[in-house]
Amino acid sequence: MPLRIQDYIASFPIRFGFLDPATEPWKLTSALSHLIEQFATSLALSPFRNEAGIWVHKDATVEVGATIKPPAVISAACFVASTAYLRGGVVLDHGVTIGPACEVKRSIVMASSNVAHQSFVGDSLIGSDVNIEAGVVVANHFNELLEQEVTVYVGGQGVRTGVTKFGALIGDHSRVGANAVLTPGTVLPPHSVVARLALVDQRAD
C-alpha cells in the first residue's frame, strides 16, 4: 500500500507544490536541507529576511536565546521560544509554536501546530493543527537494535524505508500527550490521540 503524504496532511500538496506528490516522507526528510532552498523560491520573499540561509517572516517571533541553524524557514505568526534548538533543516508553516527547550531536527511542522516545552522531534512530518504536549519524544533512530533501518507500517504491511533515521508522519488534528514516546517510523492518521506517557511502537501491532 503506497503511503501518500497528502492522505495525512491535506495542505501538503498546496504548500509544497514543487514536490512530486508520490515522494515518500522519509526521502523528503532525508533531503530536507537541500529542498528548503527550493521551497524558499516559492515564497513571497518580501516579508522574509534571509540571514545566511535562515528565512524569518517579519511577523514571526524568535525569542532571544533560541538557536536556529540553517537552512530554516520560519513563517508568519510563528513563535520560537528562548532555548529552543532548530537544526538540520526545519520548516515551520504559518502559526507554529515551538516551546522552550525543544529540539526540532530535520522536520516540517505544518500550520497552527504546537510543540510544547522540552520535546524532541527528529526527521518528521507534523501535520496541521497538531498539538504535541510537553516532554514528548518523536524518536528518529533505533540506537538499541542491530538492524537500524526504519520500517513503517501502513495497513498492517511493513514498508522498508532504506534509511536509518526517520521519526514520524503525524496526520492533521492529532494530539500527542505529555511524555509520550513515538518510536522511529510511527505513522499516525489524522485526528489520532496518543495518551500521556504512552509508548507507540507499531512494530508490535
In whole angstroms, give the CA distance from residue 182 to residue 194: 9
Is residue 173 flagged as an active site residue? no
3-state secondary structure labels for all residues of 85-140: EEEEEEEECCCCEECCCCEEEEEEECCCCEECCCCEEECCEECCCCEECCCCEECC
The contacts of residue 58 (CB under 8 Å, 6+ apart) are 47, 48, 49, 76
Catalytic residue chosen out of the listed positions 34, 117, 141, 173: 117
List of long-range contacts for 184-190, beta carbons under 8 Å, 24+ apart: 184/139, 184/140, 184/141, 184/142, 184/150, 185/150, 185/151, 185/152, 185/153, 185/161, 186/138, 186/152, 187/3, 187/8, 187/152, 187/153, 187/154, 188/8, 189/8, 190/8, 190/10, 190/127
- Residues known to be catalytic: 117
